[in-house]
């Protein structure tokens, strides 16, 4: 089988036209580590980079020697290179609050922020995290403080949900229930409530009976207060979506050499193609290799069996068994990667060998970055 093109990581990082790198893939494949390693290598090659993680795990902060990350980019001290590296972790609710405060007058902002429905929506509404990731990415890009933004997305297929955020928000805002609730405010005053009751008396009565008058009032207040702000939400999300399609963006799909993860990688590649998003290539993490590839699994197992049958060299036999198992694992991983390459022969690929221990500091991230660039 023809080998795929190698993903040239340094060419992407060194290109001043590359402004956004989005790392996506299934859960547990090393996206956070890959994003952090790319950020560190970019900084040490002269870029001013910020890594945004929307994964609630704290691994990014720990690996960068920080006690914690929050919604504000934090400078990561690095002794090498001329660039700078910042890191942050998306605070979904805080980002939502900042948008309200920036795009509503103080009184309206106070009404929204104190409303119980807003507090619930900003913390747990389906899709809010992905939408806020879009908002934060747009904010970082518009600020122009960093010449490279690296996004570490949530695990599994939700990693691409932020592509659907504008449409999902639009469906929510255009839904019948929301229009029903905004009708009084749009029609104006008490007459509007009479109009609402005349047109939707049965439904309004049932809702009030089911939820209570105060709940309905809180919900109507919340929706009418947000009505003027939502249009800006939609517009900015669509601008960020177009930004993701622009030539300055590079999507990096991250996978492990396992069946499920490689299938997810295929899904991501196909979805990105559908959305016309610029794919840079595939990173395959934790690939197992052997220091003695010339010794096959079959020969190693046979030699171990021979030694064991004679009761000799137990330690050597154990090493041979271990080598046979490693070669079998490497063969399985190779087959899984071949399936991906067969389906996507034009996608550049880079392999990162499995490390002997977890990455937990800048030195480990630097090693991963070197492997990404020179594998």
pLDDT in tens, 266-310: 999 999 999 999 999 999 999 987 666 666 777 777 776 767 777
Q: How far is CA 198 from CA 13, 104, 204, 216, in A?
A: 62, 32, 10, 17
Mean pLDDT calculated for residue range 49-64:
79
pTM tops 0.95, yes or no: no
Q: Which residue has the tokens 């309206």?
A: 108
Dist. CA 29–CA 370, nearest whole Å: 18
Q: Which residues have CB under 8 Å from 41's CB, separation 6+?
A: 9, 10, 13, 366, 369, 370, 372, 373
pLDDT in tens, 159-193: 567 777 666 666 665 555 555 555 554 554 444 44
Q: Which residue has the tokens 């747009």?
A: 138
pLDDT in tens, 324-350: 777 787 888 889 999 999 999 999 999
Q: How far is CA 174 from CA 177, 231, 255, in A?
A: 8, 11, 37
Which residues make beta-bridge pairs with 249? 20
**DSSP code, position 160:** G
Q: What percent of the chain has pLDDT over 70?
A: 74
The angle, 0 to 180 degrees and rounded to 10, between the axes of the packed helices 259-274 and 314-343 is 20
Q: Which residues have CB under 8 Å from 32's CB, separation 6+?
A: 53, 55, 57, 59, 60, 63, 152
Q: Which helix (H) or strand (E) holds 286?
A: strand 279-287
Dist. CA 203–CA 181, nearest whole Å: 11
Q: Which two tokens stand for residue 215?
A: 């709940």
Dist. CA 212–CA 204, nearest whole Å: 11
Work out whether strand 349-353 and strand 20-25 pair parallel, antiparallel, or are unpaired: unpaired
């Amino acid at each position: 089988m023809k080998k795929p093109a190698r993903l040239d990581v340094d060419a992407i990082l060194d290109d001043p036209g590359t402004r956004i790198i989005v790392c996506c893939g299934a859960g547990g494949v090393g996206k956070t580590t890959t994003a952090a390693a790319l950020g560190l290598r970019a900084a040490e090659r002269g870029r001013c980079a910020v890594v945004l993680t929307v994964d609630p795990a704290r691994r990014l902060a720990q690996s960068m020697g920080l006690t914690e990350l929050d919604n504000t980019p934090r400078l990561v001290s690095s002794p090498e290179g001329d660039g700078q590296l910042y890191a942050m972790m998306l605070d979904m609710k805080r980002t939502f609050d900042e948008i309200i405060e920036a795009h509503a007058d103080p009184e309206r902002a106070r009404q929204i922020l104190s409303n119980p429905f807003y507090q619930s929506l900003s913390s747990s509404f389906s899709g809010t995290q992905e939408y806020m990731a879009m908002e934060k990415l747009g904010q970082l890009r518009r600020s122009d403080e960093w010449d490279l933004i690296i996004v570490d997305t949530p695990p599994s297929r939700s990693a691409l949900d932020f592509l659907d955020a504008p449409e999902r928000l639009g469906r929510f805002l255009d839904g019948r229930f929301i229009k029903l609730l905004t009708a009084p405010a749009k029609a104006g005053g008490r007459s509007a409530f009479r109009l609402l009751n005349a047109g939707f008396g049965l439904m309004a009565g049932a809702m009030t009976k089911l939820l209570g008058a105060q709940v309905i009032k809180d919900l109507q207040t919340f929706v009418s207060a947000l009505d003027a702000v939502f249009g800006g939400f939609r517009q900015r999300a669509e601008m960020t979506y177009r930004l993701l399609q622009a030539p300055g963006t590079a999507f990096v799909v991250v996978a492990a050499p396992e069946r499920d993860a490689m299938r997810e990688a295929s899904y991501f590649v196909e979805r990105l193609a559908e959305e016309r998003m610029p794919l840079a290539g595939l990173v395959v993490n934790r690939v197992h290799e052997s220091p003695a590839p010339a010794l096959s699994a079959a020969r190693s197992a046979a030699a171990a069996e021979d030694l064991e049958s004679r009761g000799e060299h137990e330690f050597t036999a154990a090493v041979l068994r271990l080598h046979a198992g490693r070669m079998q694992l490497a063969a399985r991983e190779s087959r899984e990667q071949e399936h991906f390459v067969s389906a996507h022969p034009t996608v550049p690929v880079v392999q990162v060998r499995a490390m002997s221990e977890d990455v937990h500091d800048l030195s480990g991230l630097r090693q991963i970055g070197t492997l990404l660039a020179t594998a």
